[in-house]
Amino acid sequence: MNTNEAELAVVVRDLEKRFGKFVAVSSVSFEVARGEIFGFLGSNGAGKSTVIRMLVGLLTPTSGSGRVAGFDVGTEAENIKKHIGYMSQKFSLYDDLTVEENINLYSGIYRIDRAKKKQRKEWVLEMAGLRDHRHSRTSILSAGWKQRLALGCAVLHEPEIIFLDEPTSGVDPISRRQFWDLINDLAGKGVTVFVTTHYMDEAEYCDRLGLMDRGELIAVGTPGSVKADLMKDDILDVHCQRPQDAIADIEQLASVKDVALFGRGLHVVVENAEVAIAEIRKSLESKSFVIERIEVIPPTLEDVFVSLIEARDKAMDVRKVAG
Amino acid sequence: MMKPIRVWAIARKEVVHILRDPRSLMMAIAIPMLLLVLFGYALTLDVDNVPMVVWDQSQSQTSREFISRFDGSRYFSIRQYARDYHEVERSIDTGKALVALIIPTDFGSDIKSGRAAPVQLIVDGGDSNTATIAMGYADFVALNYSQDVAIREIARSGGPKLHPPLDMRPRVWFNAELVSKNYIIPGLIAVIMMVIAALLTSLTVAREWERGTMEQLIATPVKGSELILGKLLPYFALGMLDVLLAVLMGEFLFEVPLRGSVGLLFGMAAVFLVGALSLGMFISIMTRSQLLASQLAMVLTFLPSFLLSGFMYSIANMPPPIQIMTHLIPARYFVVLLKGIYLKGVGLEVLGLNAVLLAVFAVVMVALANFKFRKKLE
Amino acid sequence: MFERIQQMLVKEFIQTFRDPKMMGIIFMMPIVQVLIFGYAVTTDVRHVKTAIHDLDNSVVSRELISRFEKSGYFDIVEYVERDERATELIDRDQVKAVLRINNGFGEALRAGRTAKLQVIVDGTDSNTAGIVLDYSSKISLRFSQQVLMTRFTRIRGLAQKPGHVTLETRAWFNENLESRNFYVPGVIAIIVMLITLMLTSMAVVREKEIGTMEQIMVTPIRPFEFILGKTVPFALIGFADVVLITLIGVFWFEVPIRGSLPLLFSATALYLMTTLGVGLLISTVSSTQQQAMMSTFFFYFPAVLLSGFMFPINNMPIVIQWCTYLNPLRYFLVIIRGVFLKGVGLEILWPQLAALAIMGVVTLWMAASRFQKRLT
């Protein structure tokens, strides 16, 4: 992506963050173009929140550089805060304030001028579906509404970039869907959205993705390219009886790279589908497992992610053994 | 530069927090009133009616007359007439009496024949303050009695009526009746304000860190100085309300005379309050934990202002190294100002230095709080 | 069950002790307080700054003044000539007392009349003022007595003295009347109460505020196990503080400790029951740490002020004296002072111990049942 830097909302080069001896984020580099929905995936503790917090100016990078909205994350953090909106992982609006009072607070903080204040407030209330609850204390709202309110407060001042840290964790699937509708809406209006999540299905909604594992960025690209480029392997969907027992046998097979329970069946990661299917069939039948079906399925992002991580794990073990 | 809109937005939010926690609000008003009532009515270092046990081995008219000097005075209250030493011991051991008067068998004849009559006084040294004062009283009563004996002797033997040679006339300035209320209540205002300031502000910033709401705030353009000022304003109003209450109670309930300038009083209170609130805020900023902040607040605000400010215990009586230390305690200057304004009726011409130091304290605290506040998570 | 209690205890210990700042304060606070009470707090009055306004300037007036100076209580700062200067000195707090002797003092004394001495004191510190007046009265009386003796012998002849009383004073338990022997043992009582109260009430509410309480409530833990887990660590801290202050008091300040240590510790245990109970009670009525802190102080201030720690209960209005019977601190102070200074034992202190036991049981029971209701 060698687009003109002026077109880039976020540019990060070799960003690193240490806490004492612990390296939370190591040598991360990526770019986010204007108007993109950029998703940051990874399991808990991978370093996603730390990256976001550096970009938003809440933490100072130990080394490396980054630019958000044209400002340097190390030295111009306060300028960044004027141009972005942020939603922290933990709900951080005030419990004992009403919905409207929370909105008024952030209205004042962002110095939205009087003419626009009312209009923006009504817009947020409408967007969050909280018109009827404007006078309710935030403490009584359900998680889904709280998140929408937080999102609303983050975009009150119409920022060009918004950073959302796990905005849908703890929220029911329907609310999650609705939340993503809101995000898409905003992106459609030209807002750059930088979002972290550990829900793999949400990753599919993003324009581009970054995958983090243990502080390192292990993959960047569109969902399609990530799946295609990085997933050299095939995925088999195997349904048989007593799948939990079958795992042990399938694991031993030479052509099988990995196998895991998935729903009522098994997902098996293999290098070559044809060879593997034959081997599995032979093994299962010999042990009298009744096979219902075996078929090749397109890999999901979850599959990609898991296999990437396992590859890294194996490499690390090899290094450990070697040195 | 600070933007008024932001400060106002923060202040408004703080006001809502305060109003929606009626219990804390009530206590912010009740605690000062409680302290005022306690010190105004219940607490005094004055010593009166010291419980006494008497063992009169003489049982003569002379001894009874001597004893009546103690009984009749406001200093002592005779609780028991012991019949032997053991009863005296028990009385003091159990705390029934703090002082024991033991009159020897020959008391009457000694006095009549012009000899020295040795009387034993035993004090419970545990409460050294009361003991010292009680000893002083007893000394006084004994001396007075001896003087009266001498004068009577002369008059009886037909000599001229001697007057007590020396008449000491006490004149007490500023607090003629030596009413300890008048001395305690002005200084108490300083202690109250320190305590309230600590209680109110020491938790406010730490609480937001603990709950996570601070993270959201510092991701916005709001400045540290705007946050601090916004938080200070409502607590300042509350603090001044407490001052007003204390002054009104002092005036109408306890009738402590206020001889100096009311304007100066409130002006100095405002300066002190700013400093005290900022100190509380500073503690909150440094600790980021409410539990820790509350402990620190106790040690840094309440304790020193209660014990070392000159409010209760005279600084002049403390060991010199400690006297030097008290110069670091802001409440000390405010206590001098308060007592000066209330009792002496003096103004800045006498109190100027204290006022300046108080202002320095306020400025330093505000600067420290602002300096230490970081808009970063670590 | 014991396993669960153990787990809770371990967690609580880790939480409390992990933070070095917390540990610092828990142990610094008592040390600071002991030092302050040991050194700074004293009601002894010495070196009273005095000005002399002697208009008579005779041998006897100077003799009287030197009596004041020699007493050690008065520090003569200035000899003033005019009233205005004396006024100024008092206004500016440069002297606390002025001794004023009028012209004709010496003559009156020689003539056998009464001579006047005016003692002007700054009443803004009425405690000191009262004591200064007492000293002055005594010095004056002694001076007076001496003059009287000379007149007496002149009239009645030599070697004839009137009968008089000599007072031999002995102070029990604290021979030198050191303030610190009074205060330092008392500090134990107030520190222990503060620490256990504040830690208990805030620690429990903290879990409510942060939300971890909910997590605990869904486990099979029983209320009393939770309570034990929350109170035992703080009880231990309380004991540690008792030991710490006792050590400092005995070895640094040389406060005598004449009574039985086991008695002291059993009394501490009973006392802790009440303070922990009150801490728990406070936590049941508070939903935020802010409320817990304020409620703690609302209870703590009157408890300390009305306990006999600083202000003699004897001199309080009767109604308030009755109220102090409900104050556990009152009983504990009697026991502490009894053990340290008086060296008395169970036979004298049993009423206080009984009172503490009753209060402890009642408070804990009330706290536990309220807690029960909230947890279930």
List, for residues B141-167, the tens digit of each pLDDT value. 898 898 888 888 777 776 666 677 777
Residue B33 identity (one-letter amino acid)? M
Query: Which of chain B's residues have a Cβ under 8 Å away from the Cβ of A93?
Result: 213, 216
| Rounded Cα distance, B282 and C362, in Å | 40
Distance CA C354, CA C226 (A): 28
Cα C116 to Cα C136: distance, rounded to the nearest angstrom: 13
For B307-341, how does the pLDDT look when each residue is reduced to its tens digit (9 = 90+)?
899 888 888 888 888 899 899 999 999 999 999 89
State the complex-level ipTM.
Answer: 0.85
Q: A206: closest CA among A196, A217, A216?
A: A196
Q: Who among B35, B298, B317 is closest to C44 (CB)?
A: B317
Would the CB atoms of C334 and B183 count as touching at under 8 Å? no
Residue-wise pLDDT tens digits, B264-312: 999 999 999 999 999 999 999 999 889 889 888 888 888 888 889 988 8
Q: Which residues is A42 bridged to in the sheet? A: A212
Query: Which residues share a beta bridge with A84?
Result: A161
Q: Which residues of A touch B376 (CB under 8 A)?
A: 57-60
For residue C1, being part of any structural domain is answered with: no
Please give the residue of chain A at the shortest CA–CA distance from B212: A92
- B3: nearest CA partner in chain A: A111
Where do you find CATH 3.40.1710.10 in chain B?
Answer: 50-156
CB contact under 8 A, B3 and A105: no
CA of B208 vs chain A CAs: smallest distance (Å):
9
Q: Does A39 touch chain B (CB under 8 A)?
A: no
**Which residue on chain C is closest to B257 by alpha carbon?**
C124
Residues of B with CB under 8 A from a CB of A: 3, 5-6, 8-10, 12-13, 16-17, 20-21, 211-222, 375-378
Distance from CA of B82 to the nearest CA of C (A): 18
| DSSP symbols for C279-307 | HHHHHHH-SSHHHHHHHHHHHHHHHHHTT
| Cα angle, residue A212 at apex, residues A207 and A217 outer, rounded to 5° | 90
Closest-approach residue (CA) in chain B for C295: B27
Instruction: Say which of C93, C147, C209 has its CB closest to residue B166.
Output: C147
Rounded to an integer, what distance in angstroms lies between the CA atom of residue B316 and that of residue B302?
21
Q: Which chains touch B (3 or more CB pairs under 8 A)?
A: A, C
* Number of B–C residue contacts, CB under 8 Å: 389
- Provide the CATH number for the domain around residue C135: 3.40.1710.10
| Distance separating alpha carbons of residues A68 and A83, to the nearest angstrom | 9
Distance from CA of B258 to the nearest CA of A (A): 42
Do C201 and C344 fall within a single domain? yes
CB contact under 8 A, B16 and A101: yes
**Structural domain includes residue C150:** yes
- pLDDT digits 0-9 by tens, A292-303: 888 888 887 887
Beta carbons of A59 and B213 less than 8 Å apart = no
Q: Which residues of C touch B350 (CB under 8 A)?
A: 91-92
Query: Is C162 a domain residue?
Result: no
User: How does pLDDT run along chain C (376 residues), one tens digit per residue?
Assistant: 677 777 777 877 777 777 777 788 888 888 888 888 888 877 778 889 999 999 988 888 899 999 999 988 899 999 998 989 988 888 888 888 999 998 888 888 888 788 888 998 888 777 788 888 888 888 888 888 888 777 777 776 655 667 778 888 888 888 878 888 888 899 889 889 998 998 899 888 888 887 777 777 777 777 777 788 888 888 998 999 999 999 999 999 989 889 889 999 999 999 999 999 999 999 988 989 999 999 999 999 999 999 989 888 888 898 999 999 999 999 999 999 989 988 888 888 999 999 999 999 999 889 888 877 766 5
- H or E element that contains C181: helix C179-210
Same domain, C111 and C184: no
Q: Which of C171, A157, C38 is nearest to B126 (CA)?
A: C171
> Is C25 found in the same domain as C59?
no
Nearest Cα residue to A85 out of A179, A162, A150, A195: A162
Q: What is the dihedral of CA B241, B247, B249, B255, to 10 degrees?
A: -170
Q: Does C64 share its domain with C81? A: yes
Yes or no, beta carbons of B133 and C134 under 8 Å apart = yes
Classify burial at A186, counting beta carbons within 10 Å of its beta carbon; exposed 0-12, middle 13-18, buried 19 or more.
buried
**Mind telling me how many Å the CA of A71 is from chain B's nearest CA?**
14
The domain of C67 spans: 48-156
Asked if residue C189 and residue C66 are part of one domain, the reply reads no
Same domain, C350 and C230: yes
**Would you call A101 an interface residue with chain B, using a CB distance cutoff of 8 Å?**
yes
DSSP C81: S
Give CATH superfamily name and number for B50-156.
abc type-2 transporter like domain (3.40.1710.10)
Contact B298 C194 (CB under 8 A): yes
Whether A140 contacts chain B with CB within 8 A: no
CB B119 within 8 A of CB B101: yes
Residue C317 inside a domain? The answer is yes
Query: Closest approach of chain A CAs to the CA of B204, in angstroms?
Result: 13
Both C231 and C134 in one domain: the answer is: no
Q: Are A94 and B13 within 8 A, CB to CB?
A: yes
Is the pLDDT higher at A6 or at A16? Answer: A16
Residues C249 and C211 in one domain: yes
pLDDT for residue C268: 94
**Inter-chain touch C163–B139, beta carbons under 8 Å:** no
Domain tally for chain C?
A: 2
Q: Confidence band (pLDDT; 50, 70, 90) for A1?
A: very low
Percentage of chain A surpassing pLDDT 70? 97
Q: Are residues C214 and C309 in the same domain?
A: yes
Residue of B nearest to C202 (CA): B291
Residue C193 domain-assigned (yes or no) = yes
Residue of B nearest to A93 (CA): B213
For A291, what's the count of Cα atoms within 13 Å in the CB-facing half-sphere?
18
Residue of B nearest to C149 (CA): B150
Contact yes or no for B13 and A105 at CB 8 A: yes
- The 10s digit of each residue's pLDDT in A228-268 is 776 677 888 888 888 888 888 888 888 888 888 888 888 88
Give the whole-angstrom CA distance, residue C120 versus residue C50.
10
Residue A106 in contact with partner chain B when CB distance is under 8 A: yes
- CA of A194 vs chain B CAs: smallest distance (Å): 15
Question: Are the Cβ atoms of A109 and B9 closer than 8 angstroms?
Answer: yes
pLDDT per position in chain B (378 positions), as tens?
Answer: 889 999 999 999 999 999 999 999 999 999 999 999 999 888 877 788 899 999 999 999 999 999 999 988 888 999 999 999 999 999 988 888 999 999 999 998 888 888 888 999 999 888 888 888 888 889 888 988 988 888 887 777 766 666 777 777 777 777 777 777 788 899 999 999 998 888 889 999 999 998 899 999 999 999 999 999 999 999 999 999 999 999 999 999 988 889 899 999 999 999 999 999 999 999 999 998 898 898 888 888 888 888 899 888 888 888 888 899 899 999 999 999 999 899 888 888 888 999 999 999 999 999 999 999 999 988
Query: Do C334 and C231 reside in the same domain of the chain?
Result: yes
Using the beta-carbon criterion (under 8 Å), do B199 and C317 form an inter-chain contact? no
Taking the CA of residue A171 as centre, how many other CA atoms within 13 Å lie in the half-sphere pointing to its CB? Answer: 26
The answer to whether the Cβ–Cβ distance between B120 and C40 falls below 8 Å is: no
For residues C205 and C327, state if they share a domain. yes
* B135 chain-C contacts, CB cut-off 8 A: 169, 171
Answer for the pair A136, A99: CB distance below 8 angstroms, yes or no: yes
> How far, in Å, CA of A293 to CA of A307, rounded?
23
pLDDT given at position C250: 92
Residues of chain B with Cβ-Cβ distance to A91 below 8 Å are: 212
Phi/psi for A85 (5° steps) reads -120, 150
CA angle A149/A153/A158 to nearest 5° reads 130
Q: How far is B38 from chain A (nearest CA, A)?
A: 35
Name chain C's partners: 3 or more CB pairs within 8 A: B
Query: Cα C320 to chain center, whole Å?
Result: 18
For residues C230 and C342, state if they share a domain. Answer: yes
Contact predicate A112/A120, CB 8 Å: yes
pTM here? 0.84
- Under an 8 A CB cutoff, do B136 and C138 touch? yes
Q: Which of B30, B34, B118 sits opposite C166 (nearest CB)?
A: B118
